[in-house]
Amino acid sequence: MSDRNELQGRHIVLGLTGGIACYKSAELVRLLTKAGATVQVIMTEAAEAFITPVTMQALSGRLVYTSQWDARAANNMPHINLGREADAILIAPASADFLAKLATGRADELLSLTCLARPRESAALLVAPAMNREMWSHPATQRNIATLQADGTVVLGPGCGDQACGETGDGRMLEPEALRDALVAHFQPKVLTGRTVLVTAGPTFEPIDPVRGITNHSSGKMGFAIARAAQEAGADVTLVAGPVHLPTPAGVRRIDVMTAQQMYDVVLPAAAVHEVFIATAAVADWRPASQSDQKIKKEGKKVAPTFELTENPDILAAVAALPRPPYCVGFAAESEHLLMHAQAKLQRKRIPLIIGNLGPATFGRDDNSLLVVDAQSHHPLPADGSQADKLSLARLLMQELADRLARLPA
């Protein structure tokens, strides 16, 4: 993620409860403020055993609150004032005890009071659980989590891995970067709520022998950004990824493939049960007609080996030709005459929308500019034709997609 001010103008109340994961909260404050947010820290007495208010004050640039009896507020009601000012309250770490307190509505100190008194229509409550794996899996904790979710609380994590107690399992607080991204995602417009979206991303790799193959320069970054943006917009997202080394976007279901045929075999049945198909992957048009079982050696050979090529299945055209196809969005990565080639591909594939971009200028990069093309018109994204980072472009594209879906006949 770049240094975009994605939380500019947002005021976040960050609550810390008792747990060793408090050390991560210091970095979380730094990341939130770097993203443009103002952060007001509230700490429980137990949290102060792990990290000091002085540290959190230095990082947030604001006085830290620790007591409901804090007299700095003119009305002596910090639990009311702090919640009214917040765009969201994030509890990180959220201990098992504090989750139980929230689930039952107990409010015997400042942080729980603030959560209970917050205006629910304007200040969402998000919790990042952090505890031992046995505490997390305990039926009481799971009941409390279910209650909180039913009440509208957003539960972030927990993660799985090594724990301070020496055990390994579920219960780790998510890393600060993941929590920042989750908070950013929370504020994105939910324009695709209830939609199911299938995305392909990255290149394919067509083997010649066990160590060589035909591929391309696609990094998969645009497709992964689209999958993330669709999930942020409220969609249920499945991502079919070629051979790339990119982290799976939070909340996205991922299926890894290698070849075009493997991608075809996964996508065709999946497309039939999705409302939208976004074909971002740079699929190889051809593959070797046969693959050598052993590495092709060059020792003593004066002439390079030759091999016959055969055409790969056309995934996008096959999906568009289904009896009840999803809304299909194609991508055209061209090297010249972008509009002409994009319009030709739109007609050839028989799809309603295609996104054009100049492949050699964007493969592997973090920014891009797009051309949105349908049968009647075309326009750039961003609207001024400038470059933008791929996640910002993906979010613009999700709004574009939502507007077009809304205009479809019922």
What pLDDT score was predicted for residue 203?
94
- 211, 259, 296 from 287: Cα distances, Å: 15, 9, 16
For residues 41 and 16, the answer to whether their CB atoms sit within 8 Å is yes
Residue 278 CA, distance from chain mean position: 16
Per-residue pLDDT, averaged over 78-104, amounts to 94
Catalytic: which of 22, 115, 160, 165?
A: 165
CB-based contact 29:1 (threshold 8 Å): no
Does residue 83 contact residue 119 with C-beta atoms inside 8 Å? yes
- CA 9 from centre of chain: 21
- The pLDDT, as a whole number, for residue 339 is 86
Report the interhelical angle of 390-406 vs 221-232 (nearest 10°). 50
172, 202 contact by CB (below 8 A)? no
| Of 332 and 153, more confident | 153
Average pLDDT estimate for 182-206: 96
In sequence order, the 6+-apart residues with CB closer than 8 A to the CB of 252 are 227, 228, 231, 237, 238, 239
For the chain, which domains are there?
A: 11-186 (3.40.50.1950), 196-406 (3.40.50.10300)
Quick check: 318 and 264 in contact, CB under 8 A?
yes
d(CA 179, CA 126): 10
Could you report the per-residue pLDDT of 373-399, keeping only the tens digit for each? 998 989 988 888 888 899 999 999 999
Written as one string, the DSSP assignment of 40-61 is EEEE-TTGGGTS-HHHHHHHHS
pTM of model > 0.85: yes
The answer on pLDDT for 30 being more than 90 is: yes
**Strand (E) or helix (H) holding 186:** helix 176-186
Identify the residue with better confidence: 1 or 366.
Answer: 366
> What residues pair up with 311 in beta bridges, in sequence order?
286
pLDDT of res. 161 = 87
pLDDT of residue 71: 81
Rounded CA separation 238/332 (Å) = 21
Task: State the Cα–Cα distance between residues 54 and 45, nearest whole angstrom.
Answer: 14
Which one has a higher pLDDT value, 211 or 155? 155
Q: What is the mean pLDDT of residues 11-26?
A: 96
Q: Is the Cβ–Cβ distance between 315 and 279 less than 8 Å?
A: yes
Phi, psi of 290 (to 5 degrees): -145, 150
Mean pLDDT rounded to a whole number for the chain:
92
pLDDT in tens, 46-58: 999 999 999 999 9
- DSSP per-residue codes, 154-180: EE---EEEE-TTS-EEEEEPPPHHHHH
- State residue 210's pLDDT score: 87
Percent of the chain with pLDDT over 90: 71
Q: Confirm whether 165 is a catalytic residue.
A: yes
What are the tokens at 22?
Answer: 């408090």
Confidence at residue 367, expressed as pLDDT on a 0 to 100 scale: 81
Torsion of CA 363, 364, 368, 371, to 10 degrees: 30
Taking residues 207-230, report their average pLDDT.
91
Q: For residue 1, what pLDDT is reported?
A: 41
Q: Tell me what pLDDT residue 138 has.
A: 97
Q: Say if residue 28's pLDDT is above 70.
A: yes
Q: How confident is the model at residue 2 (pLDDT cuts 50, 70, 90)?
A: very low
CB–CB of 311/337 below 8 Å? no
Higher pLDDT, 163 or 67: 67
**At 366, is the pLDDT very low, low, confident or very high (cuts 50, 70, 90)?**
confident
In the predicted structure, residue 178 carries a pLDDT above the cut 90: yes
Give the model's confidence band at 205: pLDDT under 50 very low, under 70 low, under 90 confident, else very high. Answer: very high
Q: Would you place residue 257 in the very low, low, confident or very high pLDDT band (cuts 50, 70, 90)?
A: very high
